Amino acid sequence: MSTEIVTINRLGAQGDGIAKTESGAVYAPFTLPGEIVALAVNRNQGTLISLREASPERVQPKCRHFGPEGVNGTCGGCSLQHASDALYHGFKRNLVIDALKSKGLTPEVAPLVVARPGERRRAVFTARHTEKELLLGYNQAQSHHIVAISECPITSSGIVSRLATIRKIAAAMASGSEPFRITVLETETGLDLAFEGLKLSDRQRRATVEAVLGERGVARVSLNGEIIIEPVKPSIDFGGVTVSPPPGAFTQATRPAEEAMATLVLDHLGKAKRVADLFAGIGTFALRIAHTARVHAVEGEDKALKALDFAARNTQGLKPVTVEKRDLFRRPMMAQELKVFDAVVFDPPRAGAEAQCHELARSGVKKIAAVSCNPVTLARDLSILVTAGYRITSVTPIDQFLWSAHVETVATLEK
C-alpha cells in the first residue's frame, strides 16, 4: 500500500472517482471529478485520506452515517450524497447515454426523473445480535460490518419512525451472532417484514408473535417466505387495483418512480387492445393496463403470479387478464405466440431479456415498452430490436435509488 496525491478525472459506473496514475486507473469512493486528493492506494483501490482541493460540486452530506468520517462508520446504503444535484443527476443520465452509445444507439435521452429524500418504501436491512444489543442497519461498503443507523434520509418516515419496532421484532427472532436480512416494505396497511437467514425455535416464534401484537403498524412478519403472523394483509395500490404481495415480493422501491414508469408505459400503449406483459411480477403494469386493454401476464415466480391473478379476479371493471407461469429466460414467448398482441411490455431482472428480444424482433409487434434496472443489458436488448427494424421513440431515465449508482429506464419502440 502507498500514499499518492492524485487528481480525480471522472466518476465511474459505480459512483467512485477515477484517477489516472502511472500504474493505471485508481478507484476512490467519496471523491468527485476535478478534486485533488490524498489516497491510500492498494492496487487499483484508493481510500480517501484527505481532500487537498475540493470540487465546487461537493456538498454537505444529508446523513451523519454517510462518508469516510461518518459518526458510526461508512454506511453502504448511499455512494453519492457528497455530490451536487446537478452533478448527480447528470451522472445518472449519462449512465444510460453511455450504455446506449456502446451499442451504437444515439436516441435522445430525456432528463432524469429525479428521486427525493423520504420516498423509499422498501429497504433491506442487515441485523445481528451482539452481547450488548441488536445491531440494525446497512453493511459498510464492501464489508460485513453493520453500521447501526438512527436515521435514513432516503427512506420513508413510515419506516424510519418504526425502527425501534423493527429492532424489537428482530431481537425476538434473533439467535446466535450470525447476521440476517430484513426486507421492509411499507404498504397501505402497515409494514411487511420479510426475514431471511434465521431458524426459529417454538419459543422464538411465540416471542415474535407477542412482539408484533404489542406494536402498531405491522401488517405481516415472515421468515424465508413462511408467514409467522399476519394481523392484516399487506396491500399495495396499482392504479386503483389492490394487490396483496407475497412475502418478500419484488416491488418498485418508490411510489413516485413507479407512477412515472407506469405513465410512460401507458401513454406509449395508447389504444392497444391486447397487450402482453412479460416478467409481470405482481402486476405493476399489467393491472394498470387492464383498465383499457386485455392483458396476458407472464411471470416465472408462482406466488407473484397468484397475487396478480387474485387481484385481477377480485377487481371490478377490468378487461380480461390471463396469466401464465413461464421461465422467460429458458422458454421465451415465441414470435408466433406474440403476433396476436398489439403491444408488449417487458420488465426483466438485471440480466435483461436477450432471448426474449430475439423473439420480439421476429414477431412484428407494433409497440414495445422496455423497462430496465440495468442500462448495459437494456442497451444490448434495444440493439437487437433496432437491428430488426424497430425505432426507439423515447428513452427516460428514472431515479428511485437516491444517491446510488442504480438507475431505472423506460424505453419505447415502434415497428
CA dihedral 367, 305, 314, 229 (to 10 degrees): -140
Euclidean distance between CA atoms 26 and 4, whole angstroms: 10
Residue whose C-alpha is closest to residue 278's, from 338, 193, 228, 361: 338
For residue 238, what are the CA distances in angstroms to 11, 19, 61? 36, 45, 34
DSSP 8-state code for residue 263: H
Euclidean distance between CA atoms 23 and 327, whole angstroms: 45
Quote the Cα angle for 258-221-252, to 5°: 10
Question: DSSP per residue over 32-99, as a string?
Answer: -TT-EEEEEEETTEEEEEEEEE--TTB---S-TT-STT-TT--BTT-S-TTB-HHHHHHHHHHHHHHH
Euclidean distance between CA atoms 37 and 51, whole angstroms: 5
Residue whose C-alpha is closest to residue 103's, from 386, 394, 405: 386
- 241, burial (CB in 10 Å: exposed 0-12, middle 13-18, buried 19+): buried
Backbone angles phi, psi at 327, to 5 degrees: -80, 100
Neighbours of 82 (CB within 10 A): 25
Contact 51, 17 (CB under 8 A): no
Euclidean distance between CA atoms 110 and 306, whole angstroms: 36
Q: Which residue has the cell 502507498?
A: 2
Is 299 annotated as a binding-site member?
yes
For residue 78, give the C-alpha cell. Answer: 448511499
Is 252 annotated as a binding-site member?
yes
Is 81 annotated as a binding-site member?
no
| Residues catalogued as catalytic | 373
For residue 311, give the C-alpha cell. Answer: 387481484
Euclidean distance between CA atoms 252 and 261, whole angstroms: 10
Is 279 annotated as a binding-site member?
yes
For the annotated binding site, the residues are 252, 279, 299, 347
Residues in the annotated binding site for S-adenosyl-L-methionine: 252, 279, 299, 347
